[in-house]
Amino acid sequence: MNMRKLSNKIRVVLNRKKATSFPEKPLRFYEKYASVVSVTLRKPLFQRFLNWMIRRENIDKKSVKDIQVRVFPFQKENGKALVGRCNREGVILLFPKRRRFLQKKVGDHGKDRLWLYIKSRARAALIHELLHVKYEGNERIVRQLTKKYFGMFVRHGNVSNQ
């Protein structure tokens, strides 16, 4: 089995077909968003925390094959945006929030708070999807544990500098 470090499994994935039909300004925004998320998830402090959580929860790290930070948002059939997804093949997908939502956040809170929100959302989403590796069909437990572990990281990690 593949024993690569978790941080080496994180990559940005761009749908080329969709990118060619996308306006330039929103495309640049989403590319920057994905880049910031990718860098954030690779930070050593967060990686140490994830490794600790994986050991504590006894999650099989080998079963995570790939972590894809998608450039474009994904909307479910019910119209709600999807934050992340983990499939049975061990591929974790993380999606951005829609640009319109984030523009409203900038107006309400400013750019610095927006980037802090984006980084925090990405960390929480990855924690959530990693927990799904073990607790596959139990959304209630995954949500409880996500809240617990993300809270631990926020309290003990210097999130604003990460």
Dump pLDDT digits (tens) for 69-119: 999 888 777 777 788 998 888 899 999 988 888 877 777 777 788 889 899
This prediction has a pTM of 0.89
Q: What is the DSSP letter of 63?
A: G
Strand partners, 93: 68, 85
Distance from C-alpha of 37 to C-alpha of 121, rounded to nearest angstrom: 9
Mean pLDDT of 63-73: 92
Predicted confidence (pLDDT) per residue in 5-35, tens digit:
899 999 999 988 888 888 888 899 899 999 9
Which residue is it, tokens 């119209």?
79
Tell me the average pLDDT across 131-136.
92
- HSE on the CB side for 32, CA within 13 Å? 9
Residue 162 has a pLDDT of: 53
Predicted local confidence at residue 64, as pLDDT:
92
* pLDDT (0 to 100) of residue 3: 46
The whole-angstrom separation of Cα 62 and Cα 46 is 19
Confidence class for position 158, pLDDT limits 50, 70, 90 = low
Query: Band of the pLDDT at 120, cuts 50, 70, 90?
Result: very high
For residue 119, give Cα distances in angstroms to 1, 37, 74, 90, 92.
30, 6, 18, 23, 17
Contact 83/107 with Cβ under 8 angstroms? Answer: no
Question: φ and ψ at 97, to 5 degrees?
Answer: -75, 160
Query: Residue 50 pLDDT > 90, yes or no?
Result: yes
